[in-house]
């Protein structure tokens, strides 16, 4: 795996895929996200790391409005997320999401999982949607499972289907919420390989993960969060070799220590 490392933060004026400014969110009285500022460039790949409860999942779930934010601005692909349902649906159909627990629809076949949203949201004819689905299922290397149900597949296969399902909507941005955390070690690699391939195609990616090898291989930028704040961000090389904050050093020593 070789990827060219670009500059950490996109230059001003470069077209941004996501702009987050002064984002704050509370669960009840608990302040989960505190003054988050983040600009994601087109084609940029960001890995978000941090201890559990640091708000990293909440942050990417705010980007497609699975979580509502209380103050600040989130602009995705030129559309600001407000209470306007039309804008929310527009952003959601442009942003693909992959969950920790796959969340495939168990009552539908793999193929139907992949064609549901294209047919009902994008209004693509069924045949065309099926062709697209088969294309992406081939890309994640499980076209032969198309007519099975999710319950018949292994965890790694299910997660690859989930990636294919998101790609079938032809999203401009992909969000990954700990995509390998629920998988057996043997299956993590097949999912990471799929994600690396996706990265090579130039997809804009935000990925919450503990896979530091993946971060080093793929990310342009690593963001470290703690207590709802961005504590440190840098290129993977600098982040891992030369962490600046004490909190980051502690975190890295704990996850890389054994």
Name the site residues for another protein (rule: CB under 8 A). 64-66, 85, 89-90, 92-93, 95-97, 99, 101-107, 116-117, 120-121, 149, 151-152, 165-166, 169
CB 253 → another protein: shortest distance, Å?
27
Give whichever of 175 and 231 is closer to another protein, judged by the CB atom. 175
Radius of gyration over every alpha carbon of the chain, rounded to an integer in angstroms: 18
- Rounded to a whole number of angstroms, the minimum distance from the CB of residue 241 to another protein is 31
For residue 65, the minimal CB distance to another protein (Å) is 8
Q: How far apart are CA 221 and CA 237, in angstroms?
A: 9
Cβ closer to another protein: 63 or 212? 63
Helix (H, G, I), strand (E, B) or coil at 15: coil
Smallest distance, Å, CB 89 to another protein?
5
Minimum distance, C-beta of residue 239 to another protein, in the bound complex (Å): 28
| Cβ-based nearer residue to another protein, 22 or 147 | 147
The answer to whether 228 and 54 have CB atoms below 8 angstroms apart is: yes
Q: Which of 62, 64, 18 is CA-nearest to residue 40?
A: 18
Q: Where do we find the tokens 């009552």? A: 107
Please state the closest distance from residue 152 (CB atom) to another protein, in A: 5
- Long-range pairs for 26-33: beta carbons < 8 A, 24 or more residues apart: 26/70, 31/228, 32/58, 32/228, 33/58, 33/59, 33/62, 33/69, 33/228
**80 vs 89 by CB, closer to another protein:** 89
Q: In sequence order, what are the residues at sequence separation of 6 or more whose Cβ sits closer than 8 angstroms to the Cβ of residue 57? A: 177, 178, 208
Q: Is the Cβ of residue 116 or residue 134 nearer to another protein in the bound state?
A: 116
- In degrees and rounded to multiples of 5, residue 175 shows phi and psi of -110, 135
Comparing CB distances to another protein, the nearer of 97 and 187 is: 97
């Amino acid at each position: 795996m070789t990827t060219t490392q670009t500059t950490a933060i996109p230059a001003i004026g470069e077209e941004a895929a996501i702009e987050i400014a002064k984002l704050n969110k509370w669960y009840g009285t608990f302040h989960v996200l505190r003054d988050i500022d983040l600009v994601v460039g087109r084609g940029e790949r960001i890995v978000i790391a941090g201890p559990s409860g640091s708000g990293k999942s909440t942050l990417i779930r705010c980007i497609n409005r699975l979580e509502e934010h209380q103050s600040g601005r989130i602009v995705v692909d030129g559309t600001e997320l407000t209470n306007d349902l039309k804008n929310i649906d527009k952003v959601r159909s442009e942003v693909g999401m992959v969950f920790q627990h796959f969340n495939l629809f168990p009552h539908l076949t793999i193929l139907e999982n992949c064609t549901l949203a294209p047919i009902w949201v994008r209004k693509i004819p069924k045949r065309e949607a099926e062709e697209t689905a088969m294309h992406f299922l081939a890309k994640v290397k499980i076209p032969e499972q198309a007519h099975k149900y999710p319950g018949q597949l292994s965890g790694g296969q299910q997660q690859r289907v989930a990636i294919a399902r998101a790609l079938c909507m032809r999203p401009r941005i992909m969000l990954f919420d700990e995509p390998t955390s629920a998988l057996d070690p043997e299956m993590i690699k097949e999912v990471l390989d799929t994600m690396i391939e996706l990265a090579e195609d130039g997809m804009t990616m935000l990925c919450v993960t503990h896979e530091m090898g993946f971060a080093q291989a793929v990310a342009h930028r690593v963001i470290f969060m703690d207590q709802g704040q961005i504590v440190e961000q840098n290129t993977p090389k600098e982040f891992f070799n030369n962490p600046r904050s004490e909190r980051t050093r502690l975190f890295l020593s704990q996850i890389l220590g054994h």
